[in-house]
Amino acid sequence: MIVPNKVIRFSESIIGKMPIILEYISKQDMTIKELFFTTQDYFEEIDEFIYSLDVLFLLDAIKVDFDKGVVTYVRKD
């Protein structure tokens, strides 16, 4: 589920689904709720979505304002 292997294809793994989240928040900042409802068709369960956010946060690809619940894309230009 998290990483691809012999059974799980890259497109079905968390690593393969992270660019979907980045695509949406690179256009505009979104609350976590808005982001989930916008991308829910790409995730089988909510835990995949949360794992994706966790990995993106750990990689410093996104910033989360925990008071407002807003996810922001971190631009590294």
Could you read off the pLDDT of 34-48 as tens digits, one per residue?
A: 999 999 999 999 999
Average pLDDT, the chain: 92
Q: Where are the domains of the chain?
A: 10-73
Taking only the tens place, the pLDDT of each residue in 19-36 is: 999 999 999 999 999 999
Q: Is the pLDDT of residue 77 over 70?
A: no
Q: Which residues of 38-66 are buried (b: 16+ CB within 10 A; e: fewer)?
A: ebeeebeeeebbebbbebbeeeebbeeee
3-state secondary structure at position 31: strand
